[in-house]
Amino acid sequence: MKTIFDNQLREELIVRINSLNNDHTARWGKMNLFQMVKHNTYWNGWILGKDNHTYKQAFMGKIFGKMALKRMIKNEKPLDKNIPTSSQFKVQETNGDLEAEKSKWISLTKAYEQYDNPDFIHDFFGKMTKEQIGILAYKHSDHHLRQFGV
């Protein structure tokens, strides 16, 4: 399985992130390029334990989370288009410093090399193993890069 903990795959993601520019437009979804990149900096910071995030699983996640996670990471199939985004990860700003946000996303991607966040609890999937986190983090970045054609 592809995982963000694989050095080569992390480097490939970084090359793809670096290739993003204002000529890229979404192939699906409601986010523009800046919103997508900022969404990813926030999301990866949440996974990595940057800033002071509160980790709590939603009630519906306690019922369906583990089943949904297994289905999502059971194979190398990319994440589906237009999967819902939790409200905490929706970016309202429509523009900003794209290069600065790309740099943050790249730094966070590199930080997975030293991943250590035992407190992480996904808001829907709940407590996850490091292996599950690695697969999901890779698929999430890949999903949004494919969304913008890279």
Domain locations in the chain?
A: 7-147
Q: Tens of pLDDT along 21-51?
A: 999 999 999 999 999 999 999 999 999 999 8
Residue 86 has pLDDT above 90, yes or no: no
CA 3, CA 73: separation in Å to the nearest integer?
10
Residue 63 has pLDDT above 90, yes or no: yes
For 7-147, which CATH class? mainly alpha
**pLDDT at residue 3 in the model:** 98
CA max distance for the chain = 42
Burial of 41 (0-12, 13-18, 19+ CB in 10 A): buried
- Assign 85 a pLDDT band (cuts: 50, 70, 90): confident
Average pLDDT, stretch 102-115? 98
Q: Tens of pLDDT along 44-62?
A: 999 999 988 889 999 999 9
Q: What's the pTM value of the predicted model, to 2 decimals?
A: 0.95
